Chains A and B, each alone.
Chain A
Amino acid sequence: MVEQELAAPEAGTEEQAARPRQNFYQRHESFLLGGSAVVITLAVWQAFWSAGKISPLFFSGPSAIAARFWDSLLHGQLLSDLEYSGANYAIGLVLAIFTGIVLGVIVGWYRRVEMILGPFLTALYATPRLAMMPLIIIWFGIEMKSKVFIVFLSAVFPVLINTIGGIRAIDRDLLRAARAFCASDWQIFTTLAIPGSVPYILTGIRQGVSLGLIGVVVGEMFGGSKGIGYIVNYGGQTFATDTVFMGVLIIAFAGIALTAVTERLERHFSRWRPER
């Protein structure tokens, strides 16, 4: 009798293996369609640009942007600008993740702490943190410290709020089972609250990663004379549309790469979840 029931999962895997093999196109359909769309868009754009139909005052072309990129990379300050922005971003983000998780665990676990800090967190969370940039410049000046701080301030809230939610969301059935096995509060904290909140924390980090990116770009637009945000801002003020596009594309690629890394991280930590 047991065998019948246990045999079920194996039957499932056999079925999967028996599925007809897909050809090259079927296996890579999403990548091929998306890739072609990008290539065609670029080609059409370049064609209009080469034909002189696009005014460089308002827009730019792929070849001009690429040329600007090479030039800035080889002869300009681009590398040191990237380094500067990258450092601002990395320091701010790491501080935000660390603070967000530690504070979130404390606030989530102790109800009274949540009651006390609640109003402040809600108010700060609801405020667009970028609106505080002028104030941050008054506090920290226009150098690195203020950029790091705005990245921190942008990224810390999603991590914090999600961590609090994760610690709170202990499954009632699991809690009852743990209690029945004489679990202490500390055991419930370490075996249920912490592991249970990992997916929430990762969601918070993913949001923090993209909000932090906005933070570093906008932060560098306010004052200072370095960084990718500064390049975009300066390019705009001098009608150097190719420079603006170069900056925007660099930021876009950074965003895509960072999202891919965090998604990879999320997958790694949720192996136990049912496959969707």
Chain B
Amino acid sequence: MEQVPLSHILILSSTLFFLGVYGFFSRRNLITMLMSVELILNSVNINFIAFNKFLYPHQLEGVFFTMFIITVAAAEVSISIAIIINLYRRFKTIDIEDTTTMKF
């Protein structure tokens, strides 16, 4: 089977990563910022799987790291959704420009 060059996979994942970074810094809405974080975590997963598959196929380390990242992402999303709902209940908005009570 002909193989895709590893650098193309890395370009794919870094483009996805910086799309996520752009969304995280430019958005004003907490839920869309959360979605950008998901994109970032997924780009890292692609990297781990690609390195495991194409450079070190005699190990399963990338698979384990991907599984742990997916689990941490699930925990992170559940906590942040709880925070967002609590914030919405208190301020009636989740726009980060309007919720400045604790802003330094």
A, B in one complex: no
Which residues of A does B touch, CB under 8 Å? none
